[in-house]
Structure formats: C-alpha cells, structure tokens
Structure 1
Amino acid sequence: MGSFIRVQIEHCYFSGFQNKDVAFYHKDSKSLIQADLLMNLPPTEQYSKAQSTPILSALSRFNPKSWAHPHMVWALGVDKDAMRRDARRVSDWDFKRIIPCHGDVIENDAKTAWDTVYRKFLD
C-alpha cells in the first residue's frame, strides 16, 4: 500500500511558508490538493447546502484573480529561496484542478491560477 501511495501522490512541504504548509498532487486525477497555499473565495461550493452563509468581510473576494493574493503569499514566505524552490516544484506538476481548503475547487485554468498567485516566486 505504501508504494501505491508514493506512486499516485506526490507531495511538497513548503518549509519556507509561515504556516509550514504542504501540497499534494494526485496524478490520476491531475489534482493539486492544499490548504493555505492558495484560496479561492468566496466559498460558495462549501456553503451550498448549509443553512447559513460565511462571514468573511475583506477576505470574501480573496482568490487567484485578486490583486492581494500574490502579495499575501509573498509576505507569508519567510524563506524566499525555499518558497521559490517549492512553488516551482508545484508549478511543474501536471495538475488541471486545485482543491483548496478555503474556497471553491478550481476546475478551469488551475495551472494559471497557481502561477498567478506564485508569480513573484516563479520569476
């Protein structure tokens, strides 16, 4: 079982990220799964069956297209060299979808979304 997981799922530990986050790449589904490395708010999908709506304030539009997301990621990168290495590694994966912990799944242009948010580390 352990070798199956190693073959099907790659991971990248972001040691240079303030939150010490990790990204997973599931090869068969071409999915990038991660928590705080990229957000796609508002979380309409997450709350689609809920009886309430999230209280988000200023973060309600925090997504890969927002001007603030790349700046926040840059600020949370406490070791810029490690962030460059890890952002590049994830960018090199062949993912088509991003499954974030915060916000809706990105089904289209996922690679562009990642590269946009991490552009300061990828240049």
Structure 2
Amino acid sequence: MFNLPPTEQYSKVPEAEKKGGGFLKKIFYSLNSTVGPAKGHKRLLMSVKRIYGWEWNTLIPCHGDTIEGNGKEIFGKIFDWHINGKK
C-alpha cells in the first residue's frame, strides 16, 4: 500500500533540492493516495483476486528472488485477506 505523496519522508529536504513533478508523477500519486475515494488501492485489490484466479506457478517479484513451483501458493498466503476476506 502506498500513502502518497510522501510528505513526511521528504520533510527535511530543502524545497530547492526536491525533484519536480510532472504528469506521470501526478497520476501515480493520485492512484496511490489514501485521500478521497482511494480508487487505485481498490482496483489493486480487485486485480489481486483476478490474478489469483489465473493458472500459474512462478512468481517474479519486483524486488527479491523469483519463486518457482509454488509462487501461486505464496501469493495466496500473502494476499489471503484480500482474496478471501480472512484476517
């Protein structure tokens, strides 16, 4: 989950040193914010259920090692609450 913009994270950085934005940054922030309807987060959760319904067994994370053979099982364990509504 994201909670953008990361104002606290960059609170001690002088304004002159902060990078500019741009159109893509604005879109990314709007989809990953908890402000307003939080549609980006809600759509992510819908995607998690859809992805879990597919047939696959290898999980390639953005960071970390590829999980081969039981990737879907690990994905299901991590996202169980979102897939099945269990805590």
TM-score (norm 1): 0.35
The structure with the largest helix share of the pair is 2
| Structure with the bigger percentage of strand | 1
- The TM-score with structure 2 as length reference comes to 0.47
Report which structure shows greater RCO (CA 8 Å, sep ≥6). Answer: 1
Structure index of larger Rg: 2
